[in-house]
Every structure is written in structure tokens, then in C-alpha cells.
Structure 1
Amino acid sequence: MPVDSCHFRTKPIHRNTLNPMWNEHFQFTVHFEEMCFLRFAVVENNSSQTTAQRTLPLKALKPGYRHVQLRTQHNESLEVSSLFIYSHRTEEGPAGGATASSLVRFIQVCCF
């Protein structure tokens, strides 16, 4: 859905590639949570080649601090690779009461 499609990119990490820290925050609005997926990708800065990734249904992302286990491009588990994130969501409805279909969800994800 174009209404729920967005793309964020962190700054490249040039040092400490064994345990990089981004400390960047991303916030986006979601209208149809049950149809949304969140994809994390680790991309080589020089070649734009994806070295690790993970795609999760947005409704499966629980709020709070989490380790997101990364996978290869072929969806094979990478045992020692994960992203430490914090996610938080808030919901807003129109003035005068909200129905489940009219809620707008604001999702914030922080990558550390």
C-alpha cells in the first residue's frame, strides 16, 4: 500500500564494524497495521549489497527493547548477528471517539 510505504536509511558506520552503534530514531505513520511489514537491512556502503536482513510483520513487533535476529538474503539464520532496537507505538483517532478502523498508529523504532 503506497499510503503505508516509507524508507529510512542510517548513516554509514566507518569504524567499529564488529559492534556498530547507530543511535538513530525513525518515526512513521501506519494506517493498515495488519498489512504492513518492517524490513531491516544491513547494506555495504561501497557496493550496496545486502549482507543481512530481517522482515517482520509489524503487528508481531512488540513494544520495548528487542534483539532482532538477522538473516541472510536467502532467509537463513545468522547466529551471532542481531540488531538491538527499541520500538514504541501510539494510537490516535478522530476527535469525538475512535473506532478500530479509524485509528492511526505512530510507530517509532530506534536502532542502537
Structure 2
Amino acid sequence: IERLEYEIFDIPRPDGIIYLDVPVKHALELLEMNAEEMLEKKKYLTEGKDVVEDSLEYLENSRNAALKLVKAHNDWYHVDCIDGGAMMSKQTIHEKVLSSAQHIISD
């Protein structure tokens, strides 16, 4: 993938990647909470979820792959969005993202 993106397609290599980690259980809860809003935004769907969002296995595999990338690459930054079993506030997540971005900028 790296060769395809950065050499063949000549996509600029990012200085860093910030991964916002939300366990699948919590992501599904958020999807359920926002189902009406999602239906309005995704009028092409008859349900509130698209094919990817509806596959628990796909979501788990995607999260696990991202967590492996975070561990394998020092230019990936992990932002845990859950504390004590609950979603952190937008402000707290913002502060964590900003801190990661500052690390990227200063490196």
C-alpha cells in the first residue's frame, strides 16, 4: 500500500496519523444514538447503518488492524476516546488530538 500511495500515486506522505480509538461496542452505541440523524444524512440507506457499519466482524477487524499500525509505526498517534467505560467529552478528545498534533508538528 505504501508503494502504491506514495510512489505510484505520489500522494504526499503525512507527517503523522492520529487514530481516534473507540471500541466497537461504544461505536455501535453511538451509531444507535444517532440513527435518526444518520438517516437524514444518508438518505440512500433504508437503515441507519451502511454495509460496513452493519458488520461487527468488519468493525472489529478494522479496529484491530489500526491498533497494530499504531504499535508498528512511530508516526501513528493513538488517542483513546474512552475513559472508565464512557466516551470522553468532545473537549477532552480535542485536547488529546491537539497534543498529538503538536508532537507531529514539533518532530
TM-score range, shorter chain: under 0.3
TM-score when normalising by structure 2: 0.26
TM-score by length of 1: 0.25
Identify the structure with the greater helix proportion: 2
- Greater RCO (Cα-Cα under 8 Å, separation 6 or more): 2
Higher strand content, 1 or 2: 1
